[in-house]
Structure 1
Amino acid sequence: MTGRGDGSSERGAVEAFGAAADGAVEAGSDVEAAVEVLRCSPDERAERGVSDDDVRAAFLTVVREGDAEAKDLRGVELPAIELDRLTVEGADRHPVDLREATIESLSARFATIRLPVRLDDATVGDVALDEAHVEEAILADGATVTGDFDAFEAEFAGDVEFEGATFEGRFDVDESTFANDVTFDGATFEGAAEARAAEFYGDSNLLDDNTSFTGAAFESDADFRQTGFGFTHFERATFAGEADFQEARFDGDAEFDEAVFEGFADFDEARFDGDTGFADVTFAGDADFRGAAFSGRERALDEDVTFERSTFAGDVDFRHARFRFVTFADVAFEDVAHFEEAEFDADATFAGATFAAEADFDEGRFREDADFSGVEFAARAVFRGAEFTGGANFLEDDLTFEGAHFGADADFHDAEITSANFVDTTFGGEIDFSGAVFSDRIDFEASQVEGDAWVDFTRAKIVSGRIAQPAENWVRYDLTLASLGDVELVAAAEGDHRRLLDFFRFCRTEFTEFDGHEFDFSGHREYLDRNAWAIHEFHEPPDADPDYELEMTPEVTETTYLKAKQSAAAVGDMKVAGEFRVKRQQYSRAKNLEVARDGSAPLWTRIKNSGRAAENWFLGVTCGHGMRPIRIGFAFVLAPLLYVPFYALGDFLDVLGGDPFMTAAGQVAPAELVTAQGLSTLFDVARFSYISYTTIGYGFLGPEGRLAEVLAASEAYLSVVLSALLVYALVKRSEM
C-alpha cells in the first residue's frame, strides 16, 4: 500500500515548474530556484505564473535535495501539498522546517515519510495521513489544523508533538500506531476526537510518560475505545462531550488527576495494568467502569489506583470491576454508586467518602482490609452477600466503619466478615445484619439518631467480640436464631449496665456453637436477678409494632432458655445455668398446657400434656425445679400438718363422714380447739401424722377409719417423694 509511485506526475510537475520559473528566478541550482518559489507569497507566484503544481514540485525538490538551510521554510504560505503514495526522504536527516507556515492542506495517504517535519505554530487545513508510514518525528507545538486530521491506520515511528495545538475539525487516528512518545499537552480538539483501537506506546522512554494529553481540551466527543496505551497522562484534561474508553488498555501508569468529564465517561471493561490516578477528578455526568480491572504495579508504598477527592455527580457504575490497592477517600458520590460484585484484591479505602444516593456493594469481595471510616451514607447502603475476608494486616480491623453515619437503611444481609469495627457508628434507618457471619470478632458501638429501628442480627453468627451501648441513643439488637460466641455486652456508663439486656432480644439463640467461644451470662447477674432471669423480653418503644422473625410462643421461649442454660453450663456457671433451667421449665409447663387446651389435638395427647404440666407445677412449687432447697426443706417438714385437719376434724367434716377419718388419737370439734383437752387431742393427731409420714410406727397410735388408713399410706409415699426432692435440690445447690 506504500511506495514511490511511477514518478510521471512528479516529473511533469518539475518540468512545468522549470518552464514557468525560467526567467523568473536568477540562474542557479534547482534547489535554490525551488526555495525561491516556496518563499514567494501567493500573489507573487500568481504574477510570475507559478501554479500550485509548480509549488508542490518545488517543495519535493527542497525536501529531497535541500540542505538544512534550504529546508528552513519557516513562515511560507503553501497551497495544498499532496504526497500520496510517495516516499518522502532527503539527502540528509535535517527536518523540513515549516514553523509558522500556512498550508492549505497536507495529504500523504499511503506515503512513507523518512525525515522529520516541524510544524510548530503552523496553520494547516485538512491533514490526511491515512495508512502513512511516518518514520521520523512530527513536531507541531502550537499548530492549528483548521480542517480534519485523518490518520487512519497510520504508523508513527518517531515522536509526535502537538503541544498546545488546535484541531478545529475532526481528529481521527483510528487504528494508528504511535511507537514513540506522543504529546498533546494543552491541545484543543474542537471536533470529535477518534482514536479507536489506536496504539500509543513509547518504548524509547521507559521511565517517562509515553503519551500525554495533559491539560488537553476535548470540546466534543472523545473516542478511545479499545485503544492501547503505555504510560499515559490525561491530567487536567477536560472532556465536554462523551469520553469513551471502553476496553481501552493501559499497560503503564495512567494519570487522570484533576480531569473534568462533563459528559458520559465510559471506561467499561478497561484494563489498567499500571498505577492509575483519578484524584480530584470531576465526573459531571454518569461514569461507567463496569468490568474494569485495576491491576497496578504492586508498589508497596503507593495505591494501585486512586479516586481520592473526586466527585461523581451522576450515576457511577463499578459493577464487576476489579481492584488491587485502591482509595476512594473523600470522594463525593452525588448519585447512585454501583459496586455490585466488584472485587478488591488488596486494601480498599473509602474513608471520608459521602454517598448522597444509594450505595450498592451487593456481593462485593474485599479480600484484604476495607476502610469505610467516617463515611456518610445519606441514602440506603447495600452490602448484601458481601465478603470481607481481610487478613493482610493482622493487627488492624479487616473492615471498619468507625465514625460512619448511615442516614437510611443499612443492609448487610448474609455478609461474610472476618473482623469488623463499627465503633461510633450512627444509624438513621433499619440495620440488617441477618444471616451475616463474623468469623473472627466484631467491635460494635452504634447509636440510633432517629426512629426506632434495631440492629437485626437474626441468624447471624458472631464468634467473638464486643457490643457496646453508647452514653445515649441506645440501639436495640435482635439476636433471634443467631449464634453468639464469647461476645461481651457492655455499656459506656457503668451505671447503665443493669439495664443492658433490656435492649437485647434472645430468641432461640445459640450460645455454644463455637468451640472455645461460649457466651457468658455471668457478667449480667445483677440484671438477671433484678428481672427474674428473663432474657427473651425485648425492650420496645411505645406503639412499636415490629415484625419479628419468630413469635415468642411458649415452645420458642422454652428452647431459648434451654440454649441459655447450656451456655452457662459450658462456662461452668451452674448458678446461672440453674436459674435458666427454672425459666425453661416454666415455659415448658405453658407449652404443655397450650397443647392440653387444644381441642383439635387427640385426647390422649391432651391427657399426657396435662399430666406433664401438673408434674412441672408440682416440681416448681415444691423445690423450684431443684433450685430452691429451702422451699423443699420447709415443705418436707410441714407436709404432715396438711393431714391434721382431716384426722382431727372428722366429725365436723360430716359431708365426708366423720368415722372414715378416725384415728387412735381421737377427734375434736372446732369449739374444743381452745380447750386444754382439745389442744391435747390436736397434738396427738399431729403426732400421729408425723409418725405415719416418717413411717416410724411406734405401735400405740394408728388409723381406724378407712380414709384415715388411705391418708396415712399417702403420707408415707409423700415423705419419700419430698425427701427425694430435698436431696435432689441439695445436690443441685451444691453444684453451684
Structure 2
Amino acid sequence: MTNESESNDGTGTDGERPVASAGSDPLTESDSRLAAETSVDVDPSILHLSPAQREARGISDDEVREKFRSVLVYGTDAQKELGDVTLPEISLDRTTLTSVDRHPIDLSGATIEGLSLEHTRVTLPIVLDGATIGSLRLQEAHLEAPLSCSDATITGPASCFEAKFDDDVAFDGTTFEGPLDCDEATFRDDVRFDGATFDEEVTFRAAECHGDSNHLEDNTTFSGATFRASATFRETEFGFTRFDAVDFRAEAVFQEATFTGDAEFRETAFGALADFDEVRFGGDTAFDDVAFHGRADFRGATFSGGARALVDDASFANATFGDDVTYRHASFRFVTFAGADFEGIAHFESAAFDGDADFPDASFDGEVDFDEARFREDADFSNARFDGPCVFRGCEFTGGANHLKDDVSFEDARFADDVDFHDAEITSANFVGTAFGGTIDFSRCVVSERIDFEAHGTDADAFVDFTRGKIRSGRIVQPAEGWVRYDLTLASVGDVDLEAERTRDRRQLLDYFRFCRTEFDEFDGHTFDFSGHREYLDRNSWSIHDFDEPPADAVDREYALAMTPEVIETTYLKAKQSASANGDMKTAGEFRVKRQRYSRRKNLETVRDSEEGIWTRTKNLGRAAENFFLGVTCGHGMRPMRIGIMFAIAPMAFAIPYLFDGPLFETGAEGVYETIYFSYISYTTIGYGDIGPIGPVARFLAGSEAYLSTILAALLVYALVKRSEL
C-alpha cells in the first residue's frame, strides 16, 4: 500500500489537494498553479480494472480512492466516463468537491461498495444511473449541481439528512433495499422518485421540496413508486407534487405537511394508515380513484385550492375508503367526492366547505357523521347511498349566490338506516325521490327559504319528525307508493303545499300529517293554507292533530307533547288563526268548533281534579255548561240551521206540560190546537189576551218560554251573522 504522504501524484503531504478546501476554486487559481494541477497523473485505467485484477497487481483500495479523487477533480470529460466500474467504498466527507471543468462524473452502471459525501460541498454533476451502491451517505451535504441516480440499486442505508440540493435530483426507477433518511433535506429544484422502490422505512420529516425554478411542471414526483415499508413525510414542504399510482403498502404519514402547489395522488393505493392530519393543500389536490385500504385521517386538513375556477380545489372522485376515514375540522373550498365508496365510518364532524361540496353517486356503507359541518355553498348528495346511520346534526347548508340551484340536494338519495338532521340550518333543500328506511329526525331543523320533499319510505312505518322545526315555504309531495308520515308538532309551517303524486290520493293526504300546537303564521307573507284540503277535513271531522298509524303498527312512538285537551285546543286555535289570515272563514269556523270542543274537555278535567279549589272547579263547570249549550244549540255559530229549527220547534216542547191541565197547568186553552197556539204566543211574547196562564206552573212555563225565545233568537242572529262571513 502506498502511504499518502509519499504518493507521487502531486497531492502533497495530506493526499487531499485534488479536493479543494472549503472556499477555494481551482478555476480561479493562477495559470502556473493550474498548469501544475492539470499535470497531475489522472490516468483512470486502474479504475476500470476489476477487483481481482487490482488484487493481482497489488493495487490497494486506498490507491483506487486517490485515483478516483484525481479523476473527479482534474479529469477530462472522457476520463470522467467511469461507466460499469467497480469501486470500493468512496468517502469524500467534509470537503469541497470542485473540478477544472463542469463535466459530470459519470458512474452509470458502476458497482460501488458505498459513497459518502457527509458535510461535503459538491459543485459538479454526479451521474449514478443504473449503479449498484452499497450505501449512500449525504448527511448535511450541499450539492450545487445535478445528481442523477436513476434505475440504480442502493443495497444498504441511504441518508440525505439535512442535505441541500440546489439542482435537479433524479432517483426515478431506483430501488432502495435499505432505509432512506431524507429528514430535513432541502430540494430547491426538481426531484424525481418516479417508479422507485423502497423496501424499508422512508422518512422525509421536515424536508423541503420547493422546485422554485419550475412552475410549469411538477417539482417533486413519486409517480408509480412502491413503498413496501412505512413512509413518513411529516411536516414536509412540497411545491407542485405528484404521488399518482403510488403503492403504499404500509403506513404513509403526511401529518402537518404543506403543499404550496398542486398535489396529485390519482390511482394511488394506501395499504395501511394514510395520515394527512393538519396537512395544508395550497393548490389543487387530486385523490381521484385512490384506494385507502386502511384508515385515512384528514383531521384539520386544509384544502385551499388554486386559482383555476374550472378545476375542483380537491377531488376524491371514485376514491375507495376501505376503512374508517376522518375529516374532522377539515376545511375545503370546492371539493368533489363523486362516486366515492366509503366502506367504513366516515367522520366529517365540524368540517367547513367554503365552496361547492359534491357527493353525487357516493356510497356510504357504514355510519356517516357530518355533525356541525358547514356548507357555505351548494352541497350535492344526489343519488348517494347511505346504508348505515347518518348524522347531519347542527349542519349549516347556507348555499351561495346561485338561486337556480338548491343549496343542498338529496335528490334520489337512499337512506337505509336512521338519518338525523336535528338542529340543521338549511336555506333551500331538495329531497325529491329520496328514499328513507329508518327514523328521519328533522327536529328543530330550520328551513329559511324553501324545501321540496317528495320522499318515499322503504317500509310502512317511515316517519319524518319535524318537531319544533321551521319551514318557511316549500312543497311536500306524497309519492305513488311508500307514503311517509310527517310529525309537525310545535313546528312553524309557512307557505308549504301538501300534494299527492296521484290526484285520487289527495283526499287522504292529511292522514299522514300531524299538526300539534303548530305555528302557521310565523313567517310574514308565508302562511299555511288549509283551503286546498277542505274535502279531507270535512270527511274527517276537521281533525288535524293526529294521523293514522299503519294497521299493524308495533311502534310505540314518543311524541314531544301528550295529547291533552289543552294541547289540542291550542292546536285548533292556531289553525283557526291561520285560516282567518288567509280569508278562509269556513275553515276558520270549523276549527273554532273543534277548539271549543276540546276547551270543554279541558274545563271538565279541571272540574274532576280534586286538588283544585271549589271556586275554580265551579267556574270551570259553568264554562263547560255554557260551552255545551252553545255547541248543542248553534254549533258555536257554525250551525244556523240547527238553531233555526230549535227556535221554531221549542214551543212544542212547552205545549206538552200545558196539556196536563189541572189547577197547576191551567191556561184556559181547550184542546191540542189551542194549547199549541198558547205556547207559541207566550214564546213570541205576543199575548193577544184571549188566553193566558192561570195555574202557577203554567205561569212559570210561559215566562220561561219568553226568556228562552230571546236567547234563541240572539243565537240565531249570531249564527246567521257568522254564517254570512263564510
Answer whether TM exceeds 0.5 for this pair.
yes
Aligned to 1:569: 580
Per-residue deviation, 1:587 = 1.0
- 1:687 aligned residue (677, 691, 708): 677
Question: Aligned partners of 1:699 and 1:9: how far apart in 2?
Answer: 161
* Contact map agreement 1:16 1:54 (CA 8 A) in 2: no
The separation in 2 between residues aligned to 1:208 and 1:716, in whole angstroms, is: 106
Q: Cα offset for 1:646?
A: 2.0
Q: Secondary structure at the match of 1:440?
A: strand
Distance change >3 Å, CA 689–CA 59, structure 1 → 2:
same
**Closer, same or farther: CA 298–641 of 1 in aligned 2, 3 Å:** farther
SS at 1:280 equivalent: coil
CA contact (8 A) 1:254 1:272 kept: yes
Which of 670, 686, 690 aligns to 1:696? It is: 686
Deviation at 1:572, TM superposition (A): 0.7
Shift of 1:638: 1.7
RMSD: 1.9
Distance 1:622 1:280, change over 3 A: same
The answer to which of 710-719 and 560-569 deviates more is: 710-719
Return 162-171 or 685-694, whichever deviates more: 685-694
Structure 1: how far apart are the matches of 2:679 and 2:231?
A: 108
Corresponding residue to 2:77 among 52, 68, 71: 68
Amino acid at match of 1:148: P
Offset of 1:664 from its aligned partner? 3.5
In the alignment, the residues of structure 1 paired with residue 13 and residue 218 of structure 2 have an alpha-carbon distance, to the nearest angstrom, of 46
Q: Do the aligned partners of 1:13 and 1:54 also contact (CA within 8 Å) in 2?
A: no
Q: 1:524 to 1:31 in 2, by over 3 A?
A: farther
2:105 counterpart letter in structure 1: V
TM-score by length of 2: 0.94
Deviations 1:522-559 (A, max 9, x none): 11111111111111231101243222222212111111
Q: Which residue in 2 is equivalent to 1:468?
A: 477
Q: Deviations along 1:27-83, whole A, 9 cap, x unmatched?
A: x97655441222222222223322222222212211111221121111111111111
Partner of 2:30: none
Take 2:559 and 2:296, find their aligned partners in 1: how far apart are those partners? 40
Superposed CA deviations along residues 554-593 of structure 1, whole A, max 9, x for unmatched, are 1111111111111111111101111111111111111111
| Corresponding position: 1:85 with 2:89 | no
The CA deviation at 1:237 is 0.3
1:592 aligns with 2:603: yes
- What are the residue-to-residue correspondences of 1:296-335 with 2, within 5 Å? 296-335=305-344
1:733 aligns with 2:708: no
Letter aligned with residue 112 of structure 1? R
What is the CA deviation profile of residues 224-263 of structure 1, one whole-angstrom value per residue up to 9, with x for unaligned ones?
0000000000000010110000001000000000000001
Aligned match of 1:205: 214
Q: In the alignment, is residue 376 of structure 1 matched against residue 385 of structure 2?
A: yes
Residue type matched to 1:664 in 2? G
| SS of corresponding position for 1:643 | helix
Over residues 248-284 of structure 1, what are the superposed CA-to-partner deviations in whole Å (9 max), with x where a residue is unaligned?
1000000000000001000011010100000000000
Mapping 1:157-556, distance limit 5 Å:
157-450=166-459, 452-541=461-550, 542-544=552-554, 545-556=556-567
1:415-473 CA-to-partner distances (Å, cap 9, x unmatched) read 11111111111111111111111111111111111251411111111111111111111
Provide the rounded CA distance (Å) in 1 between the counterparts of 2:527 and 2:17: 103
Aligned equivalents of 1:11, 1:166: Cα separation in 2: 39
Unaligned runs of 5+ in 2: 1-6, 19-36
Separation (CA, whole Å) in 1 of partners of 2:38 and 2:342 = 70
CA–CA separation in structure 1 for the residues paired with 2:121 and 2:564: 89
Q: Partners in 2 of 1:274 and 1:150 — Cα distance?
A: 30
- The residue correspondences of 1:600-615 to structure 2 (distance < 5 A) are 600-615=611-626
For residue 692 of structure 2, give the secondary structure of its aligned residue in structure 1: coil
- In 2, the alpha carbon distance for the partners of 1:341 and 1:15 equals 62
Q: Would the aligned equivalents of 1:235 and 1:259 in 2 still touch at CA under 8 Å?
A: yes
C-alpha distance 724-75 of structure 1, shift in aligned 2 (>3 A): same
Q: Which structure 1 segments of 5+ residues have no match?
A: 1-6, 18-27, 652-658, 666-679
Q: Is the 8 A contact 1:491 1:497 kept in 2?
A: yes
Q: Deviations over 1:343-391 (max 9, x none)?
A: 1111001111111110111111111111111111111111111111112
Using the TM superposition, give the Cα deviation of residue 705 of structure 1 relative to its aligned residue in structure 2, in angstroms: 2.5
Write the deviation string for residues 485-533 of structure 1: whole angstroms up to 9, x where unpaired.
1111111110010011111111111111111110001111111111111
CA contact (8 A) 1:13 1:57 kept: no
> Are residue 716 (structure 1) and residue 720 (structure 2) matched?
no
CA contact (8 A) 1:31 1:66 kept: no
TM-score by length of 1: 0.93
Task: Go from structure 1 to structure 2 and tell me whether the alpha carbon gap of 1:610 and 1:261 turns closer, same or farther (over 3 Å shift).
Answer: same
Shift of 1:636: 1.6
Measured in 2, the distance between the counterparts of 1:78 and 1:296 equals 49
1:629 partner letter: P
Structure 1 residue identity aligned to 2:608? R
Corresponding position of 2:29: none
> Given the alignment of the two structures, is residue 660 of structure 1 paired with residue 664 of structure 2, yes or no?
yes
Report SS of the residue matched to 1:556: helix
Query: 1:691 Cα shift?
Result: 2.1
What is the identity, as a one-letter code, of the residue corresponding to 2:66? A
For 2:16 and 2:279, the matched residues in 1 are separated by 55
2:74 maps to a residue whose letter is E
Query: 1:393 offset after TM fit, Å?
Result: 2.0
In terms of mean alpha carbon deviation, does 51-60 or 510-519 score higher?
Answer: 51-60
Q: How far off is 1:714 after superposition?
A: 2.1
Distance apart, 1:684 and its partner CA: 2.2
